[in-house]
Every structure is written in structure tokens, then in C-alpha cells.
Structure 1
Amino acid sequence: MSDLDLDAYCQLMQEIKRRTSVVNLILAEPGRLMFKATAVESMCLQVRKILELIAMGSLVANEEALSRARCGLGKLWSGQQILRRVHGVNPDFYPRPIVELPGSGAIKSHWENKPDGFLTEAQFAEAYARCHAVLHAENPLGRTLDYSAYERDVPLWIASIIGLLNSHTIRLAGNPNLYLIHMQEAETEQVRGYVFEQVGSLPTD
């Protein structure tokens, strides 16, 4: 597989960083958008786009897999439906957040699964549904939205998304390699990725 696969994925992660910056700007200066409703709606649009990029990211280098997953995606309003759709194409689609610890000897570092502080698939589904409720109000005479609740929850979603992606591994559809992704490193704010190539076949029981 070409490094172009990694480049494409890193570009998507860079887009997530840009959209996160937009949300943080609105949180810092909500008055820029004049009204609470427009500020919340704008943030929820960015959060939903971020969630979609997370869900579809592992398919970016596989045109056939991406096409299969996106077929009818626009009609899906449930985060759980979207996750199931992508899981059917690539079971390893969801980023795996890790903690990198110092190694010893020739081993520079070792990884452990991050125990908490990140967006789980269940939280993904909930956040997506909440954003959908804001962006697709079907009954203007129905129950009004609690915009203050969104103002409280959006920062929590963003923090959980950062916790998920800050340092994570991913397997791309149709690609046997493992990718380590750093959303930021000491010397640069650009997303960096590293390839760990699979040697031979995986053992089977």
C-alpha cells in the first residue's frame, strides 16, 4: 500500500482539527453569531461533520468501500445506523485511542489502550442524534430545544473527540497495515502518521 493512504487519512484528521477550531471560536465568542440559537446550530453542524469524518475516515483510501458505506448515508439520521453501516464495510473503522509510555532499551515506547476520557461509540451515536435534532427541526410548533443544554454539552463532546483522536491507531479498509496517528507533535501542529507494516499473516486459532 502507498503512503498516499496515510496522507489521505491525515488530511481528514487535519480537517477535523480545523472544524474543532471553529467550534472553539464560537464557544469563546458566541456573540459573533448574534443569537444563542444560531451559535448552537453552527456548532452542531461542525460537530456532526466531525463525527461523519471519524466514521468514514478509515475508508478514505478505498474507493469501493467508501462508495458502499456512503450509499444512502444521507437518509440515515441515527448515529447507530451510521456506525453499523461503516462497521459492515470495515469492522476496524473506529479509532483506537492509546497512551504512549516510555519504553526501555531498543524499544522507545509502548502503547496501552486509553481507559477513559474519549468519545465511545455509544457517545458518538448520542451526540450525532442530538446534533440531528438541532439541524432538522421537523415541527416548529413542537417542544422547543434546550439550547443552554447544548452550550454545556458541546464542549464535552469536543473534549471527548480530542481524547479519542489525540493519539490513536487505525486500520484502513483494504489495507493490512496499522497506522499510528498524532494530531499534534512538539515541533508541529500538523497531523503526523506512522505506518507499521504487517509482516506475514496473522495467527489464527
Structure 2
Amino acid sequence: MIAHDHMDEYCRLMKEVKMRCKVIEQIGNKKLHLIYDQTTIESLYLQFRKVLESIALGSLLAHQEKYQELKSDIHHLWKASSIITKLKRINPDFYPQPIIQEPRSGIVTAEFVPRKSDYLTQEEFIKVYDKCSKAIHVMNPFQGTGKLNFNESLQESSQWYGHIINLLNSHLIKPVGDQDMYLIQMGKQNKDPTWTYWKQFRAAPS
């Protein structure tokens, strides 16, 4: 089993994600503006990309060597599909599994069930990552103005934001090399994320 210390580190990473999401929310609500529309949207997309990188790297925290290797690769792997492919080779279960807490009567007062929709899927992850990567780099001046439409960008990013919240609010994560999983709860706005050991029960060998 992987040492639980790494889950403390994972929760610190998720706390950083929460802070970045606050910035995203403030820009989306037009409460934070960086003087110029273009720089505001670029800053918004930069926060999204940082959040996505944290999601991608989180399950590797238990193995520093693999974490550093992929973190280095991210700087020269332009397409998210390449990052996802490499991640799946290292840890096929790298992606968070979003869950919903449903109330139950009796001794067990709640049951965690998989969230089936309305969250950031791996396919949407790729789309958002690639768009953000393109937006935060200098555009080719010979291919149009390269300027982003402020209101359209805010509208589109609002859905991304909601899907990321639904992905991470309560999720299961399986660190690379571990047989079991961990329940992560992001907590209310001013609370730190927490983890709970989520042992998977396996049938005894016959």
C-alpha cells in the first residue's frame, strides 16, 4: 500500500486547485479584470490549464520519479491527448472518479454513487487543455488577429468551471502502484480538502 503521506500532499494540491478556481470564478463573474480584456481571458485560461495539470499529475504524487518525469514532459507535449496517453501507460486509473453522496435510511445514512454526467470527462479535458494552451501562447500574426472574444470566452469557460467542480467535489483517486482508492472531499468554500482511505474489498483466493 502507498504511504498515506502522499494523500496529504494530494490534498494540498487540491487546495491549490480550489484557490485557482476562486480566481476563475471571480473573472467569470466580472469581479476581477486585468485592465485589458485580452489579458484577462489569457489569465483565465492560464488558471484552467494549471488546474488541468494538477488533475493530470495528482495520481502520480506517490512516486516522485514518475511525477517529475511527466511534469517535465508537459512542458513540451503540446497536445493533451499525448499527455493522457502517457498517463494511462503509467497509471490506467489516473483520472478522478466523481461521485455523488445520496442519502439513505437506516444504519448507513448515505451512499456514494458514481456521477454519470455533467462533469469534466477525459474527452472534454483534452478539448479544454488544448484550447487553453493555444490561448496563452502568442498567436501567429499571419493567421488573423488572434484575439479572443471576451464574452464568448466567459460563457464557454463557465461550463468548464462547473464541470471541473462536479468532477472534483467528491471523487475517488487511485494513486499509481496502489491496490486501493481514496475518497477526496473538497469541502466547503473556506475548508481544506480531506481524504479518506477507501479500501477495495476483494474476494479471497479459492
* Matched residues, number: 203
Which amino acid in the other structure matches residue 148 of structure 2?
Answer: D
Q: CA deviation at 1:141?
A: 3.1
Give TM-score scaled by structure 1 length.
Answer: 0.89
More helix by share: 1
Which whole-Å CA distance do the structure 1 matches of 2:172 and 2:56 have between them? 14
Which runs of structure 2 are paired with 1:116-155 in the superposition (5 Å)? 116-143=117-144, 144-148=146-150, 149-155=152-158
The 1:55–1:203 alpha-carbon spacing in structure 2 relative to 1, beyond 3 Å, is farther
Give the structure-2-normalised TM-score.
Answer: 0.89
Report the Cα distance in structure 2 between the residues aligned to 1:171 and 1:201, rounded to whole angstroms.
19
- Compared with structure 1, are the counterparts of its residues 91 and 36 closer, same or farther at alpha carbon in structure 2 (3 Å cutoff)? same
Instruction: Report the CA distance between 1:145 and its aligned residue.
Output: 3.5
Match of 1:192, as an amino acid?
Answer: T
Q: Tell me, in whole angstroms, the C-alpha distance in 1 between the residues paired with 2:193 and 2:95.
A: 18
1:158 match? 161
Q: Residues 150, 185 of structure 1: CA spacing in aligned structure 2 closer, same or farther, 3 A cutoff?
A: closer
How far does residue 37 in structure 1 lie from its aligned partner after superposition? 0.2
Q: 2:97·2:114 contact (CA, 8 Å) conserved in 1?
A: yes
Contact 1:97 1:166 in 2 (8 A): yes
Separation of aligned partners in 2, 1:74 and 1:169: 27
Q: 2:172 aligns with which of 169, 174, 197?
A: 169
Q: How far 1:35 sits from its partner (Å)?
A: 1.1
- The amino acid of 1:164's aligned partner reads L
Runs of 4+ in 1 over 4 A off after TM superposition: 198-204
Give unmatched runs, 5+ long, in structure 1: none
Offset, 1:112: 1.4
Query: Bigger shift: 16-25 or 67-76?
Result: 67-76
The superposition leaves residues 115-135 of structure 1 with CA deviations (integer Å, 9 ceiling, x where unpaired) of 111001111000011111111
Partners of 1:92 and 1:111 in 2: CA distance: 19
Name 2:92's counterpart in structure 1.
91
Task: Kindly state the Cα deviation for residue 30 of structure 1 after the two structures are TM-superposed.
Answer: 5.8
Residue pair 1:44, 1:131 contacting (<8 A) in 2 also: yes
CA distance in 1, matches of 2:205, 2:54: 32
Give 1:72 deviation, angstroms. Answer: 2.5
Aligned-CA RMSD value: 2.3
The counterpart of 2:187, out of the listed 175, 184, 193, is 184
Alignment of 1:14-29 (within 5 A): 14-29=15-30
CA distance in 2, matches of 1:31, 1:158: 16
Alpha-carbon distance in 2 for matches of 1:156, 1:180:
25
Report % sequence identity.
32
- Find the aligned partners of 2:95 and 2:77 in 1 and give their Cα distance: 18
**Aligned counterparts of 1:95 and 1:142: Cα–Cα separation in 2:** 37
